[in-house]
Structure 1
């Protein structure tokens, strides 16, 4: 009972924190656990999680976040393009260090979802560092705090945030089922993606 409670406590804390840098902690013998755990958004590594999640190699995942870009200029260009195309603007706020940010970008490359993104969105990747860079971008749309990465903003061509209730739901993007991801982005696609 103690092992199970400790697992869910650590997993819950990780899931609510968003993508964070890995922090290694040793779980004490008093709890009856002697494994070392790594805190991430996906849970705790070790025997329990390996049984629950299919391991995936992240080395080939894209690294689309570029801190040298002028993020606000990219957003402005996407909004201008959206006014012509009728597509919505998809802002993915993340970092190359975050497996969930890179995992979402990898899902965007799968054929069916890639078509939805191309047909329904003007896509912009915004590097937010460790949630300390380019924070003027989410603030522009009324999102004053990033709870984790990636944070996803879907904005209409007239600059209205369309997914206010779910902007923070993508902090565990890498472990979300592909079908759930596909259906979500289909639902918010602009006129080109319907």
Structure 2
């Protein structure tokens, strides 16, 4: 399991500092290459800013602004969490109009994968709430963002079938967004271990 991001030692930071964070599922190198191709094709249609290949991920829980002390506690807890085995294909491209995001994800026919992802999402949030986080009323739509700041014509259908690509996970992590001079950089603060199979 590898997530291609610089690591961040939360213990070295001011406990009262607030950072934006999320828990994300990272695809492997082959899946990221496919996503980069889809982002390039989508950019020709919508413009906007393409996601960096190393930043492609499926968000499992968005934590908004969180105190470093809370993230430190979460990082310790996450070492005991496990990543379930979920088989999912990326088969469609669509948009979120208001935030101007173009994304790739599974279509509605993948009911087993969508149900498993929803259950995983709920389990993660149950643990987060127990640690003191407040859940915001967001609809969970499993997706990988391809573009941000896209030029999306409102009220028009944008769903588009894509050549099927298996989403091969290569790590689940607590990701912290650290502000930079030009743009924020994702840093890995903790990892979830994969679920063991076999004897």
Per the normalisation by structure 2, the TM-score is 0.26
Per the normalisation by structure 1, the TM-score is 0.26
Which of the pair has the greater relative contact order for Cα pairs under 8 Å at 6+ separation?
2
- Of structures 1 and 2, the larger Rg is shown by 1
Higher strand share: 2
Higher helix share: 1
